[in-house]
Amino acid sequence: MIRNNLHKYSVSAMCEVLQISRSTYYYEAKQRDHQEEELTQLIVQVFKASHNIYGQRKIKVELQKLGWQVSRRRISRIMKEQGLLSKYTIAQFKPSKSTVNESETVNVLNRRFN
Spatial distance between the Cα atoms of 67 and 57, rounded to a whole number of angstroms:
15
pLDDT for position 58 = 94
Q: 71: number of CA atoms within 13 Å, CB side?
A: 3
Q: Based on the number of CB atoms within 10 Å of its own CB, is 58 exposed (0-12), middle (13-18) or buried (19 or more)?
A: middle
Spatial distance between the Cα atoms of 53 and 8, rounded to a whole number of angstroms:
45
- Predicted TM-score of the model (pTM): 0.53
Cα 104 to Cα 16, 94, 98: the distances in Å are 78, 19, 9
Spatial distance between the Cα atoms of 12 and 110, rounded to a whole number of angstroms:
88
Residue 25: pLDDT above 70? Answer: yes
pLDDT for position 103 = 67
pLDDT in tens, 27-44: 776 666 678 889 999 999
pLDDT for position 76 = 93
The pLDDT confidence band at residue 46, using thresholds 50, 70 and 90, is very high
Residue 71: pLDDT above 80? Answer: yes
